[in-house]
Structure 1
């Protein structure tokens, strides 16, 4: 896998959110013209992307904001955890409580509560940029 793409309405805010999670901005680009039009099956694409890389260099998120055509909201806008399709990304963290506190400063909200799975993990789900669910896992055992 090369990357996971997330369409956002606030590229700068999404970059700040994922930077707070420890990801690094690998690069940014503006995309327009026939190549993105043909690849996406849309006309008149004008978008900006930010490629975020995990600290180990093995995982990437491509954050995209569409200037044209306008992004289409998902229905429902903030899908529940049992919605079909891809809408959750999980990150391993060293300190779950600290990470939740820092991400709240970027607008994240807990969906439920912090839980413990056996003696192995502390886990939670947050609502992140563009309404996606960002799950966090802290290994404890």
Structure 2
């Protein structure tokens, strides 16, 4: 098993358009936006019925991405925006791996817990979220095909 790359870092925002413009000003490029909803999405996140508007921002070198999300459903239940830089936690970080099942098996021995389920997305990815050390949320993706 080999870790292939870090795909993106996710941040939940209230004003998606304003956040996109802020990160554009910083130098990131807008890669695209979409509505993420449906049964598969709620199974990955463990939130059930959800509707999320996302905007993907990309660094100019095209190696790193920031996924900005605005939750429509369910409502946001916590607000960490005003926490100082030394506050615990973050939304999640997503990694692409060669074999999601083997990776889960190894990480479970280190205390990782599956949040929802491992799901297939359009025969493109297998996806899941796990809780890692100190409950940090980590996404895993395996490319299919």
Under TM normalisation by the shorter chain, which class is it?
0.5 to 0.7
Query: Could you tell me which residue of structure 1 aligns to residue 90 of structure 2?
Result: 86
Higher relative contact order (CA 8 A, sep 6+): 2
Query: Could you tell me which residue of structure 1 aligns to residue 39 of structure 2?
Result: 34
Runs of 5+ unmatched residues, structure 2:
1-5, 92-145
Partner deviation per Cα, 1:29-50 (whole Å, 9 max, x = no partner):
1111111110010121011100
Query: Could you tell me which residue of structure 1 aligns to residue 26 of structure 2?
Result: 21
- Cα RMSD of the aligned pairs, angstroms, is 1.4
Query: Could you tell me which residue of structure 2 aligns to residue 90 of structure 1?
Result: none
> 2:74 aligned with 1:66, yes or no?
no
CA offset at residue 83 of structure 1? 1.2
Segments of 4+ moved more than 3 angstroms: none
Query: Structure 2: how far apart are the matches of 1:36 and 1:86?
Result: 20
Count how many residue pairs are aligned between Structure 1 and Structure 2: 86
Query: Does the C-alpha gap of structure 1 residues 81 and 3 become closer, same or farther in structure 2, counting only changes over 3 Å?
Result: same
TM-score normalised by L of structure 1: 0.58
Structure index of larger Rg: 1
Following superposition of structure 1 onto structure 2, how do residues 1-141 of structure 1 map, counting pairs within 5 Å?
1-74=6-79, 77-86=81-90
CA offset at residue 26 of structure 1? 0.4
Runs of 5+ unmatched residues, structure 1:
88-141
CA offset at residue 59 of structure 1? 0.9
Query: Structure 1: how far apart are the matches of 2:12 and 2:32?
Result: 16
TM-score normalised by L of structure 2: 0.56
SS in 2 for 1:81: coil
